[in-house]
């Protein structure tokens, strides 16, 4: 199951994480976000214990959405050692995400 990130736990769960992290910035009303949501859930299970994968609702958590200049969703940001290292905007295939996740290890 994908992690649920918030403005309150983002620093601890993402920026201070011992493992790489994929954060899906999304909104409940966003059609493309709903399309990629099941892929994010699948990847969270497949990479459990290796890469932390989760979601943050941009409507409810605007601090980090603003900090990382999230203007379009879905917006997937990859973090390693607390730093943003990659980003994907929009709906992409599972294969494309796996490729980026493998590079993150």
Q: Tell me how many helices (H) and strands (E) the chain has.
A: 4, 5
Please answer whether residues 53 and 44 qualify as being in contact, where contact means their C-beta atoms are separated by less than 8 angstroms.
Answer: yes
The catalytically annotated residue of 14, 22, 33, 40 is 33
Please answer whether residues 58 and 76 qualify as being in contact, where contact means their C-beta atoms are separated by less than 8 angstroms.
Answer: no
Known catalytic residue at 11: no
Cα-Cα end-to-end distance for the chain: 19
Known catalytic residue at 48: no
The catalytically annotated residue of 30, 77, 97, 101 is 30
The residues assigned a catalytic role are 30, 33
């Amino acid at each position: 199951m994908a992690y649920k990130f918030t403005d309150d736990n983002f620093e601890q769960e993402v920026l201070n994480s011992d493992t790489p992290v994929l954060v899906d910035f999304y909104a409940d009303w966003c059609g493309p976000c709903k399309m990629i949501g099941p892929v994010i859930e699948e990847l969270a299970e497949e990479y459990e214990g290796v890469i932390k994968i989760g979601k943050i609702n941009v409507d409810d958590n605007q601090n980090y959405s603003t900090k990382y200049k999230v203007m379009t969703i879905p917006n997937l940001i990859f973090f390693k050692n607390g730093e943003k290292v990659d980003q994907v905007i929009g709906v992409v295939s599972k294969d494309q995400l796996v490729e980026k996740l493998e590079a993150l290890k």
